[in-house]
């Protein structure tokens, strides 16, 4: 907290959406979906995603260095603009089941260029082979390792997209419960916060979202949290956590994506606990649009993230 009165600011970004957004949404709707009924389906989909991810090689200026975070594999991402003393702890998305090494590293690199920082990207274990609590355990271990290896919390920012945003909230909550240091602020891109799947947007925006569907969410939930008794556990559903003491939060989501209300619900609860929260709803964008570097909206979104972080860290461009 910065000592100023806490605020909840919700902004709906203006504009009809670029032609590239409309083209991407159309392409996503026309792309055949893949069934997700059992672990074999996840394995097949991973192979498909790996082939797609490999088609987008990293820019030569991006440096990726493997590191072992006390048993959790990870990698440092840096770019020529990276400065000492600026750190991003980036938890990638992928529905707790998938990993996109090039796409996630490229996104981390774009953040690093804007923030003139370097990023630590843990490769937490994936479901269904490693269901809850494997992923949050790995993220917690990686955060502890980071603090003892050159990432002071006062100079570190959390960033997470989708499942990674969920894990960012869980890692923050665990640190608070254990009375451990917190980062200066956190950026959450379309977090999934309630494993009971009762947010109104999951039904009211079903069909508008070209990426997420309710059957898909239910199948992925089964792989990540096989025991329904855990759905309300704060390490599964951070909406049910105590947000008292959280650092400032910056949340972005699509105005018609299925996780829209998840973002608003967690923002309301965090603000009620005295946390400073900024929320932006972007029109017509698909889930995790910030990772699509060719979208002008993605560039604008990262600019907004940069402004938020700079105002709370003092980092200048």
Q: What positions carry a catalytic annotation?
A: 162, 257, 287
Separation between Cα atoms, residue 11 and residue 279, nearest integer Å: 6
Contact 26, 74 (CB under 8 A): no
Strand partners, 11: 280
Nearest 10 degrees: Cα torsion 162, 302, 210, 105: -60
Residue 56 CB neighbour total at 10 angstroms: 11
The alpha carbon of residue 289 and the mean position of all alpha carbons in its chain are separated, in whole angstroms, by: 11
- Return phi, psi of residue 288, to 5°: 60, 40
Separation between Cα atoms, residue 121 and residue 108, nearest integer Å: 8
């Amino acid at each position: 907290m910065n000592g100023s009165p806490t605020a909840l600011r919700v902004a709906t970004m203006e504009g009809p959406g670029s032609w590239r957004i409309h083209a991407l949404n159309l392409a996503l709707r026309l792309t055949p979906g893949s069934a997700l009924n059992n672990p074999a389906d996840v394995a097949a989909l991973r192979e498909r995603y790996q082939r797609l991810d490999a088609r987008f090689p990293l820019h030569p200026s991006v440096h990726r260095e493997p590191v072992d975070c006390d048993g959790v594999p990870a990698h440092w991402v840096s770019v020529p603009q990276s400065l000492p003393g600026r750190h991003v702890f980036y938890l990638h998305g992928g529905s707790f089941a998938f990993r996109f090494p090039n796409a996630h590293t490229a996104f981390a690199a774009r953040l690093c260029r804007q923030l003139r920082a370097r990023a630590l990207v843990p490769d937490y274990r994936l479901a269904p082979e490693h269901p809850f609590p494997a992923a949050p355990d790995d993220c917690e271990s990686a955060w502890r390792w980071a603090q003892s290896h050159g990432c002071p919390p006062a100079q570190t920012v959390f960033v997470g997209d989708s499942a990674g945003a969920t894990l960012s909230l869980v890692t923050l909550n665990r640190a608070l419960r254990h009375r451990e240091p917190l980062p200066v602020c956190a950026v959450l891109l379309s977090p999934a916060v309630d494993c009971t799947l009762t947010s109104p947007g999951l039904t009211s925006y079903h069909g508008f979202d070209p990426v997420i569907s309710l059957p898909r969410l239910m199948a992925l939930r089964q792989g990540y949290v096989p025991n329904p008794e855990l759905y309300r556990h704060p390490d599964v559903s951070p909406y049910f956590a105590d947000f008292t003491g959280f650092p400032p939060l910056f949340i972005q989501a699509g105005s018609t994506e299925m996780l829209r209300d998840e973002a608003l619900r967690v923002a309301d609860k965090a603000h009620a606990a005295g946390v400073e929260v900024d929320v932006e709803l972007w029109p017509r964008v698909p889930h995790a649009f910030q990772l699509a570097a060719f979208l002008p909206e993605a560039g604008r979104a990262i600019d907004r993230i940069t402004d938020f972080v700079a105002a709370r860290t003092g980092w200048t461009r």
